[in-house]
Amino acid sequence: MSTGHVLLGFLVERPKHGYELKKEHDHRLAGAKPLAYGQVYATLQRLERDGLVEVAETQQEGGPERTVYAITDGGRAELERWLNTVEPSAPYVASPLFARVAVAGKAADGYLVRQREAHLARMRELTAEKASGAPAQVLAADYALQHLDADLRWIETALARMREVSNA
């Protein structure tokens, strides 16, 4: 995920300052790693340097000075390009789950069983969160559940393959 592109997407609605952008990121991308304030401001500086955002105004309302950023025409064009670019599927398997099983080989059975239990526990948590979550949280939970379900199917396949190898 490109933090800059996400911030551009939030700025399309109206000019905002960094604090608003951080809060919006953490709310709308529920389930994603929260942004650090430093990352927000560093990203805004790069976007400004590249001509994708500009300073709209500076506010001071009883607290620290806040710089309000607005998206430029170039920023709108870049956001549109990013939104229309198809995300390629990952060319490599880069999962810690796969790496552990590949390294452990035949001894991975116990690990896979424990991992399955951990996945099922997390799926129960996410399902409970969906019941009382905001639409963004429900969408994030659905995404995570789908990935966990795919991992569970792979875990079952891996366990079956290991049994085949052990019986051969």
Per-residue model confidence (pLDDT) at position 157: 93
What pLDDT is stored for residue 168 in this prediction?
A: 66
Q: What is the 3-state secondary structure (H, E, C) of the chain?
A: CCHHHHHHHHHCCCCEEHHHHHHHHHHHCCCCCCCCHHHHHHHHHHHHHCCCEEEEEEECCCCCCEEEEEECHHHHHHHHHHHCCCCCCCCCCCCHHHHHHHHHHHHHHHHHHHHHHHHHHHHHHHHHHHHHCCHHHHHHHHHHHHHHHHHHHHHHHHHHHHHHHHHC
**Mean pLDDT, the chain cut into blocks of 10 residues (168 residues total):** 90 94 88 88 96 92 86 96 84 78 83 93 92 84 93 93 78
The model's pTM is 0.70
pLDDT at 89: 75
